[in-house]
Amino acid sequence: MSHSELDSTYLGAFIILLLATCSFSLITFLSSKISKKLANCNTERLKVGFYECGPTTVKQPNKINIHYFFYGILFILFDVEVIFMYPWAVDFRLLGLFGLIEMLLFVAILLIGFAYAWQKGVFKWQSIR
């Protein structure tokens, strides 16, 4: 394949990419202009009403206990651990002893993190009052 044939091969792809980019830009520009022309510009009614629907709040909303967030973070941590362990379990025989040692090290690091969270009292539930 000569240099000129290679250039002509990519020329068609370049033209398609250029047309797609131009048409996307044109459609985006026209839709923003048309929506501004057709939109209702009367904002006075919105200024005097409530921002959210429903009745007005009469008391302070409930506080969410911080322990829910700790449990959520720990769930995500151990969920990601399972995601990393699944491919290892599928290819366990191909990885051999080296793969086993790597996974044992990975699980040991996670268990150290779990023990640290336990030692810091993340799993002790105390109410906020």
- Token digits of residue 84: 């990393």
**First and final CA of the chain: distance in angstroms?**
78
For the purposes of burial, counting CB atoms within 10 Å of the CB of 64, is it exposed (0-12), middle (13-18) or buried (19 or more)?
exposed
In a domain, 7, yes or no: yes
Residue 71 and residue 34 share a domain: no
pLDDT (0 to 100) of residue 58:
64
In a domain, 128, yes or no: no
Q: 7 or 9: which carries more pLDDT confidence?
A: 9
- Token digits of residue 26: 């044109």
How far apart, in whole angstroms, are the C-alpha atoms of residue 78 and residue 84? Answer: 10
**Percentage, residues of the chain above pLDDT 90:** 24
Domain range enclosing 32: 3-38
Q: Please name which of 129, 128, 119 lies closest in space to residue 69, comparing C-alpha atoms.
A: 128
Q: 58 or 15: which carries more pLDDT confidence?
A: 15
pLDDT bucket at 91, cuts 50 / 70 / 90: confident
Min mean pLDDT across 13-22, 42-51, 103-112, 120-129 is at 42-51
Residue with tokens 């033209």: 15
Over residues 7-34, the mean pLDDT reads: 90
pLDDT bucket at 120, cuts 50 / 70 / 90: confident
